[in-house]
Structure 1
Amino acid sequence: MNWTHKIHHTALTLLSAGLLAVSGWGASASPAQAAAAPAPACGSGDQGLLQELQAKLSSTQSAPPSFNDLQFLSADTGRAAGNGFMIGTSDGGCHFQEIYKGQWNFRQMDFPDNVKGWALASVQDGSAVYLITTSDGGSTWKRLSDKAVTFERIDFTDRMHGFGYNRTSTYYTADGGLSWSKISTPANTSGAEFSSRSNGWAVVTAPGSGYRIMKTTDGGSTWKLSLKSAFDYPESGRIYAKGDQVYALLYGGSGMSQTSYSLYASGNKGNSWRRVIAEDSAGGGPAPGSGAEPLKTGPASGKPGNMQLIGNSTAFLFGFSPAGEKVAVGRTYNSGKQWSNQPAIPGVDGMISFTGSKAGWMAMKGVNSSSLYATEDGGTTWKLKLTFKGTE
């Protein structure tokens, strides 16, 4: 499972747990209803929900519940979804509730606000991926088309506008996903990212000519060089951009549960770059690219996962080591000038959703479990919120 999904961090008005109980996700309540709801005590976050949901799902599928994606809109309000289910919290994980249970196996979800959302999902264990949408916070979903999509990830900036990506192509919608137009990207693009319809980035790789990071400010009509190297071109790449920050995550070879990679950072919209991490591996060979001597290992000394960019200077990178059975985050508070890898916890895969420089969440897959963790100190320590456990 590729966990290199990008997740939004929109600041929203929080729903109270009492409001959730009265109105459900995506609904509204009167001030009298909200005021009447008592403030619940913070418990384990389970209250029997996971056991009940696991029992329901076990009757329709053989695999135990497993988190495939999570998205938090604030430190308190967010969702986590997987094979046939979606759960949510509005009080920082003190309580969770079942939002959805059904046929959809969520690959990635994207909520620009707490009501309207989209997801890439398959029907149970099917291989075809569909673009589906919800207008009630995730309780009910409908396909936007009977045809499967080729998107590997989606990114909606609001209720009408968004982008769909696969490794080589980028698409844009201005009508909530009903129709899509292809955006022109350079030849040999192996990863792109648009922060707006006008501004975008592309990783261009070609055997024998190294790699290039290209930038457009006119919606793909023209592309200009931002970074290049003639050495060890990557297999593919992923760009993350927010405000003045831009990060290029370049993937090298993979083997023996290892992936070589390099991370480049820019704090001035790509006008200059620094190589932050260059991790070689026995199974994946040398890290792609060139540059000054950076850190030799990333978080968990393993594979790179997804990144989260906060404001103009803070960024987090998730790292996981399947063989070492550990996961962790690395972070910077100054656009990559200094980088620190935080302590690891047990796990084999996962992803992160940070909503600020300190507050964040992690969906972690273990050898025989799938768990949600929260941090209040930028990933230095993690608190377990809930766990699905499989059968031994």
Structure 2
Amino acid sequence: MNLKKKSINRSLRILVIMVLLLPLGGIGSGSLATATSDTSCGKGDHGLLQQLQKQHQGEGHQSVLSFTDIQFLNDRIGRVSGNGFIIGTSDAGCHWQEIYTGQWQIAQIDFSDNKNGWALATLPSEQKKHLIQTSDGGAHWKNVDTAITFDRIDILNDKEGLGYTATSAYKTVDGGKSFAPIPTPVNNRYASFSNMKTGWSIIVIPSGGYKVMKTVDGGEHWSLKLKVAADSNNGGEIYSNGNQVWALLYGEAGMSQVSYSLYGSTDGGSHWNRVIAQDTAGGGPAPGSGKAITQKGPASPGGHPGNMQLIGDRTAFLAGGSPAGEVVSVGRSFNGAQSWTNITPSIEGYDARISFADSKKGWLAVVNSSDKSAVYMTKDGGVSWNVKFSLKK
């Protein structure tokens, strides 16, 4: 009897040790399982690709898989969306699992935590973008009944969020059940709020050029922070994180080339540096005047900018893609727009989305590509990249 008891106790101790050795965290309401293979980390497939391809052979699915967006909540947990699927990892991309497959063609994902998220998605037979929500990490989605067709979304927590059209901004404080308009300046072409009070707006000047405006009272009052002269006014994008603010302003485009300027501020818009001023043969001069730190953006020559990721109050990354060169890459500043470095392009693709956890560790998804879609990881701020999942044939 004593020997039997000792054997049972020993087995229980082994079981406890095995449980403690399992990876922490997980996607959604359950823990993240290893996808098919446990013998390699980041080889680009893990057996999940065949599974996804098989599920996308049915009616209503596009036959070719491609990535559309990427978001990492921290240095381990992340998701990548695509045309009818979402995959996720809880070990920094070493292993992946299927989170969602279905008819939603997902354009953008945004999670406030590991369970609550929003997405913009279309159905195969429609062009309209729907706002959809999940409360189980992305496994199941419900359509949010709203008359507004959003171009972008930004979820702050499980109750508060922001939605944007080309000219307007809206807020919800009840988890998406209702949206109220946020006052924005006349001729607004891009708004971005970091919370319900502090926001930014890029205004186009009808005769040409831009104004960058700021509000600290939820849009009731706006103040001018930057004025940029230009012959064109094709809009732009703005990114903020505390007092760090970056304004991306577009010139013209042509011959697969884009002209643009990138301005950066570390004091809430009181002072700006002209960081990138990319003139191109196809797009003409970049907006603005004065000396810029560099005349080329990432993935030059003639590359177009992707999304930005701001870390803390001084670090910024910008994705870039070059259809002509068939490469994607990143540019970066570690000192609050005082200097800028474009990393030499080393990844095949046309468009890219990035998500960085800190100034060194980040992920890049090659998006909107039928033959180059893949997820890469860097541990040195973008200098080198390793493939973590690939949809390439």
Q: After TM superposition, is the score higher than 0.5?
A: yes
Q: Does 1:379 align with 2:382?
A: yes
Q: Which residue of 1 is the match for residue 373 of structure 2?
A: 370
Deviation for aligned residue 1:250: 0.5
The 5-angstrom pairing of residues 1-392 of structure 1 reads 25-27=27-29, 42-43=40-41, 44=43, 46-60=45-59, 61-145=61-145, 149-208=148-207, 210-301=209-300, 302-345=303-346, 346-365=348-367, 366=369, 368-389=371-392
- Whether the aligned pair in 2 keeps the contact of 1:45 and 1:95 (CA below 8 Å) is no
- Whether the aligned pair in 2 keeps the contact of 1:64 and 1:388 (CA below 8 Å) is no
RMSD of aligned Cα (Å): 2.2
Instruction: Give SS of 2:82's match.
Output: strand
Which amino acid in the other structure matches residue 102 of structure 1? G
The count of aligned residue pairs is 365
Instruction: Give SS of 1:300's match.
Output: coil
Deviation for aligned residue 1:28: 5.5
Q: Which residue of 1 is the match for residue 5 of structure 2?
A: none
Q: C-alpha separation between the residues in 2 aligned to 1:172 and 1:253? A: 32
Which amino acid in the other structure matches residue 291 of structure 1? G
Q: C-alpha separation between the residues in 2 aligned to 1:62 and 1:27? A: 28
- Whether the aligned pair in 2 keeps the contact of 1:235 and 1:252 (CA below 8 Å) is yes
- Deviates most, 150-159 or 366-375: 366-375
Gapped regions of structure 1 (runs ≥ 5): 1-14, 35-39
Gapped regions of structure 2 (runs ≥ 5): 1-19
Give the percent of matched residue pairs that are identical in Structure 1 and Structure 2: 51
Q: C-alpha separation between the residues in 2 aligned to 1:189 and 1:230? A: 16
Cα offsets for 1:136-163 (capped at 9, x unmatched) = 0000111111x56421110011111111
Residues 71 and 293 of structure 1, relative CA distance in 2, 3 Å threshold: closer
Cα offsets for 1:222-255 (capped at 9, x unmatched) = 1111011333343101110001200000011112
Deviation for aligned residue 1:219: 1.0
Instruction: Give SS of 2:74's match.
Output: coil
Q: C-alpha separation between the residues in 2 aligned to 1:204 and 1:47? A: 47
- Whether the aligned pair in 2 keeps the contact of 1:274 and 1:291 (CA below 8 Å) is no
Residues 369 and 58 of structure 1, relative CA distance in 2, 3 Å threshold: farther
Which amino acid in the other structure matches residue 195 of structure 1? S
- Whether the aligned pair in 1 keeps the contact of 2:119 and 2:132 (CA below 8 Å) is yes
Q: C-alpha separation between the residues in 1 aligned to 2:95 and 2:366? A: 19
- Deviates most, 75-84 or 283-292: 283-292
Q: C-alpha separation between the residues in 1 aligned to 2:389 and 2:136? A: 25
Cα offsets for 1:326-365 (capped at 9, x unmatched) = 1110000111101000121221111111110001001114
Q: C-alpha separation between the residues in 1 aligned to 2:252 and 2:198? A: 29
Q: C-alpha separation between the residues in 2 aligned to 1:148 and 1:375? A: 40
Instruction: Give SS of 2:355's match.
Output: strand
Deviation for aligned residue 1:280: 1.1
Between Structure 1 and Structure 2, whose CA radius of gyration is higher?
2
Deviation for aligned residue 1:197: 1.1
Deviation for aligned residue 1:18: 5.4
Q: C-alpha separation between the residues in 2 aligned to 1:135 and 1:75? A: 22
